[in-house]
Structure 1
């Protein structure tokens, strides 16, 4: 039952209406209606942006940009718009709670990227690729958890990612009181833990690393403080 419920969550999002309906037909209509309503009503009220069709186009381009640092310049070229205009559109989507961003972390990380952020959707079902969808799902869960911990006064938490110029990346780094606390990677199934994750762990103070997997029934400690665990159990 737990596996079935988790697969339903991945398929229909965490929004109550499509999740409870568990209907692909309803889900597709709900997605279309949600964006149309937000763009035509809410976003017009939030900003002075009048080119609402451009925002819809941006929404169609963004799913393919999840899982990698976002180049606003590249988006601007694709849309034949200025950098500042696309940056404004992205901020508009953030205000509308369609997307959120995660910044890179570079302290003590050699040859790390320092500027380009990653974007994720609050509705991970906008992504068709299963690996990207699962990573987006994990990003939402991690964002919610860290915000709940912060709001509860447990500490101040923040979420980052690590990526070097060779493309080696650790999906998520949680900071606690501005100090590295936990590294996380999202995978569909168990894989060998790559060397760069171990290197990042060591450089950042031998902090724990968890490989979160979609695969069910996983809960293993590897070497030292490296773990593999099913998402349905971790979250």
Structure 2
């Protein structure tokens, strides 16, 4: 499903909106010859999850948890960053205003405005 506007559930709409942006980025980066990129999700037997994992050249690169308004950092981000070795872990919040900052300067789990993160993808 790529039409997030038809979803009634706000969290599902937010995740689908983000998935569309992330899919566009991974397809674009691959098409531009910047590497082989994939979009995945993570969930373990203990039901910890992260909405998205961007894989670059078969290695975990970016973990992204999407929230509509929640700014309390998800503990699953730190857990999966430790387990996968991903360089970046973001909790992207859709209702936060744009901030002029480089999201990729940090290597620890961080809450960021989705507008800021998405503006830095492709």
Q: Normalised by the shorter chain, which TM-score bucket? A: 0.7 to 0.9
Q: Which has the higher contact order (CA 8 A, sep 6+)?
A: 2
Structure 2: unaligned runs, 5 residues or longer: none
1:114-125 matches, within 5 Å, as: 121-125=1-5
The one of 26, 39, 50 equivalent to 1:146 is 26
Partners in 2 of 1:140 and 1:200 — Cα distance? 22
The 3-state SS of whatever aligns with 1:161 is strand
Larger radius of gyration: 1
The 3-state SS of whatever aligns with 1:166 is coil
Contact 1:181 1:208 in 2 (8 A): yes
Match of 1:73 in 2: none
Partners in 1 of 2:96 and 2:71 — Cα distance? 14
Partners in 2 of 1:160 and 1:210 — Cα distance? 15
- Offset at residue 168 of structure 1 (A): 1.4
Whether 2:114 is the aligned partner of 1:231: answer yes
Partners in 2 of 1:178 and 1:206 — Cα distance? 11
- Offset at residue 146 of structure 1 (A): 0.6
Partners in 2 of 1:128 and 1:157 — Cα distance? 30
Q: TM-score, normalised by structure 2?
A: 0.83
Match of 1:177 in 2: 57
Partners in 1 of 2:12 and 2:86 — Cα distance? 28
Match of 2:46 in 1: 166
Task: Report which of the two has the higher share of strand.
Answer: 2
CA RMSD of aligned residues (A): 2.0
Q: TM-score, normalised by structure 1?
A: 0.45
Do the aligned partners of residues 232 and 195 (structure 1) sit closer, same or farther apart at CA in structure 2, a change above 3 Å counting?
A: closer
Aligned length: 114
Do the aligned partners of residues 232 and 218 (structure 1) sit closer, same or farther apart at CA in structure 2, a change above 3 Å counting?
A: closer
- Offset at residue 194 of structure 1 (A): 2.5
Match of 1:155 in 2: 35
Structure 1: unaligned runs, 5 residues or longer: 1-120
Per-residue CA distance 1:42-94 (angstroms, 9 max, x = gap): xxxxxxxxxxxxxxxxxxxxxxxxxxxxxxxxxxxxxxxxxxxxxxxxxxxxx
Whether 2:66 is the aligned partner of 1:186: answer yes
